[in-house]
A and B are shown apart, each in its own frame.
Chain A
Amino acid sequence: MNPQLKDARDFLSLISIASGVSGYEFSIASLVREGFKEFSDEVLGDKIGNVYALKRGIKESNKKIMLAAHMDEIGLIVKKIDSRGFLQFTSIGGIDQRTLLSQEVLVHGNRAIPGIIASLSPHLFDKMESSQAVKMDEMVIDVGMPLAKIQEVIQVGDIITIKRQTYPLLNNLIAGKSLDDRAGVVAMKVCLEELSRLKHSHDVVAVATTQEEVGARGAITSAYALNPDLAVIIDVTHACTPDLKGQVTIDLGKGPAVALGPNIHPGIYGHLVDSAHFHRVPIQIEPIPGHSGTDAWPIQVTQAGIPTGLISIPLRYMHTSVETLNIQDVINSGKLLAYSIASLPDDLEGMLCY
């Protein structure tokens, strides 16, 4: 495995295993800061928890390019502790209740407390066939402690994550939780690293955003604060699996998906595609007819409007705890970003002119 691939895999693994549910990104943020530091001129944070890594361009009268990938993940939150000491919970972000049963979790109370998601309906595991999926309301978390002890360490409102390692699969694939969108964060790191070998005119600010999974909230405030001249968002997109034939056209391992449509500035789309062809980075084209479901959506309409592009890393089983992607796609996303940034004209006006 080449060193860049290994570095990317190790960093992805590190931040995938860490916990950073929307609104509670402080611990993931410190890992991201650490990861960005080596290739940035400055790393900063803000009130909402967004992390900014600045890499200065070589020109005086330069423009500001924003990169954004969200570092938060979907998760669960304790909504009630019942009289027998089992934890009732609800979800933060979109979670399919069918992916939860029998998962090992960590309840982030005074310390991280291991638990297991159980079904309240009796004999679940003796019933071979049921017509109704177990509902989230019918599940609880068992932490194996009596109520009095639980009350010392766990409170209503504590955050819960799935306890999950990352697993290498064949052919540079990796599986784990929250690769959506920690993979995008890794791609930004790859980009910063590539940029340190390239000359680029413009200032680049890579933003690891917060709270994307609950409405792109970190992107809304960070884009407002930065007010960049151009923004490229790196997120994940659905890759094809047997049950998605005809519904999804993007494949794993064939390069990042470059989006086009109303959310995307055509000049940026064109520049990304041209850069990919020139530098022989494999890409796939992803037409999106409306809401891209990413930070790109609110960023585009921030302040007086921001020309926005979107690169997506193909990913299987999105929002499960076994999200799966190809590391090479992550590397290629970072490289494509770097080549595109380095080849931007000093004056962006021509490129961004309709």
Chain B
Amino acid sequence: MLLKSLSELNGTSGAENLVRNFLRQTIEPFVDIINTDKMGNLIGIKNDSLSGPKVMLSAHMDELALMIIDITGEGFLKFRPVGGIDAQILVSKPVQINNSYMGVIGAKAIHLQKHTEGQNPLSCDQLYIDIGAKSKEDASSKVKLGDYAYFTTVFEPFGDGLYKGKALEGRVGCAILAELLQNDYDFPLIAGFTVQEKVGLRGAKVAAHHLAPDFAIVLEAIVADDMSDCAEEGWITELGKGPVCSFMDRSTLYSSKLIQWVTGVARQNGIPLQFPRGSGSGNDAGSIHISKVGIPTISLSVPCRYIHSFASVISEKDYQACYDLVNALLKELPNIFEGSSINFAKEDKF
């Protein structure tokens, strides 16, 4: 399964090689042109010779990880997170470094703590990775500063029709995008697998600039807080209720006409669709939609519990529905274009 392979590969911002290599092999048979740009984005182009609107589908390859920033005198590794992470989830977990060495993030035994110590969250400064090294020299011979430690979560079915795995935020989009490339469309379709989303939407900025698409769809997973004890309106999104079409997030205000179009296509095709309650964190759309003269952009996401953690959870149905929706949109797409610009007047039914 594509998503399983993608989820279990390690690749954080600036070190996406393994994911990129895998995706390159996966999509090569289905695209006309394939290259990696100066930033490290993997670009695949289908139907390059066709006229018609140039459509970009974008998904980010990078995931959260921990960067080794120091090795202590005793051979323990100090780290900083790459991308936003709550250090509270790091305690008492195994990690893997450079795909070769295992390490653990331990914590002071409860027996040795002062009475109220357990009330205070542990921060990255207090944590370290133990790889079993005898000394600084021992550790330095195995691990270099700047190496990355990754989570070791296995991707597998979970509960009732769900999947659990790491790195789902970006890789869900990568998987849907790679699968869509196997279909035939009659316009130029660009696949942008971007780098460095987690540290500031940086890969997409570059890709959008040199690809200059007429329309872009950003695919990823989005926070589902439907297990929290706050009221329903605070859940952002819910698992099992279909893909999510964003109105607004921290980096983008999406075109309401485009959203109406998406809503209409979803309804016509009997695909469930939900809208996020509250505005979530940003994604690559933030870089893309303000590129050059501006690019019409929508963002479609798969709801995901525990998104910035070791073990995220998505629904198989949502994943499939998201794929179906994007596919339906792509089939409809030529109808809303006049040359290289969108003209909704053509489509009075929306």
Contacts and interface: CB of A to CB of B under 8 A. Distances in A.
Do A and B bind?
yes
A118 B227 contact: yes
A155 interface: no
Contacts of A165: 94
A144 B131 contact: no
Interface in A11-38: none
Nearest to A98: B91
Contact of B104 (A97, A125, A167): A167
B112 A247 contact: yes
B26 interface: no
Contact of B91 (A171, A318, A320): A320
Given A170-B132, A241-B130, A247-B112, A96 B230 contact: no
Interface stretch (B7-15, B210-218, B303-311): B303-311
Contacts of A95: 110
Interface string B132-145: 11100010001000
A317 B127 CA distance: 12
A82 B160 CA distance: 17
Interface stretch (A63-71, A129-137, A270-278): A129-137
Contact of A238 (B88, B112, B225): B112
A262 B6 CA distance: 57
B228 A120 contact: yes
A322 B94 contact: yes
B104 A145 contact: no
A289 interface: no
A323 B109 CA distance: 9
Given A123-B223, A146-B160, A170-B101, A98 B118 contact: yes
Interface string B74-91: 101000000011101101
B101 A144 contact: no
Contacts of A128: 84, 86
Contact of B112 (A99, A172, A248): A248
A158 B128 CA distance: 34
Interface stretch (A101-109, A198-206, A338-346): A101-109
Interface string A74-114: 00000000001010000000111111111110000000001
A135 to B, nearest CB: 8
Given A125-B85, A126-B281, A133-B120, A167 B108 contact: no
A322 B93 contact: yes
Contacts of A173: 132
B251 interface: no
Given A244-B112, A321-B92, A98 B74 contact: no
A47 interface: no
Interface in A197-245: 238, 241-244
A142 B309 CA distance: 14
Nearest to A96: B110
Nearest to A236: B109
A203 B250 CA distance: 73
B22 interface: no
A216 B94 CA distance: 29
Contacts of B105: 322
A144 B109 contact: no
Given A95-B110, A175-B104, A322-B105, A127 B86 contact: yes
Contact of A145 (B91, B138, B160): B160
B40 interface: no
Contacts of B146: none
Contact of A126 (B84, B118, B230): B84
Interface in B230-289: 230, 234-235, 281
A125 B101 contact: no
Contacts of A134: 88, 121
A316 interface: yes
A267 interface: no
Nearest to A316: B106
Interface centre among B111, B138, B313 (most CB of A within 10 A): B111
Contact of A98 (B76, B107, B131, B228): B107
Contacts of B142: 170
Contacts of A120: 227-229
B227 A142 contact: yes
B231 to A, nearest CB: 10
B128 A242 contact: yes
Contact of B133 (A124, A164, A170, A172): A170
Interface in B149-166: 153, 156, 158-162, 164
Interface string A245-267: 00110000100000000000000
A169 interface: yes
Interface centre among B101, B130, B160, B313 (most CB of A within 10 A): B130
Contacts of B111: 94, 238, 293, 318-319
A95 B92 CA distance: 11
B93 A324 contact: no
Nearest to B239: A144
A140 interface: yes
B113 interface: yes
B91 A242 contact: no
A104 B104 contact: no
Contact of B306 (A84, A118, A293, A323): A118
B103 A97 contact: no
B119 interface: yes
Given A140-B227, A170-B131, A319-B111, A149 B308 contact: no
Interface centre among A144, A149, A175 (most CB of B within 10 A): A144
B307 A125 contact: yes
Contact of B121 (A104, A123, A132, A317): A132
A83 to B, nearest CB: 11
Contacts of B310: 102, 104
Interface of A: 84, 86, 94-104, 114, 116, 118-128, 130-134, 138, 140, 142-146, 149, 164-165, 167-173, 175, 238, 241-244, 247-248, 253, 293, 316-324
Report the 10 A-B pairs with minimum CB-CB distance, sorted nearest first: A144-B159, A169-B132, A317-B106, A173-B132, A322-B104, A99-B92, A318-B109, A170-B132, A125-B308, A102-B89
12 contacts: A86-B227, A98-B118, A102-B89, A122-B234, A125-B308, A142-B305, A167-B102, A170-B133, A175-B132, A244-B108, A316-B130, A320-B107
Given A243-B108, A324-B106, 11 more contacts: A99-B92, A101-B89, A116-B164, A120-B227, A124-B86, A133-B118, A169-B101, A171-B132, A253-B134, A317-B106, A320-B92
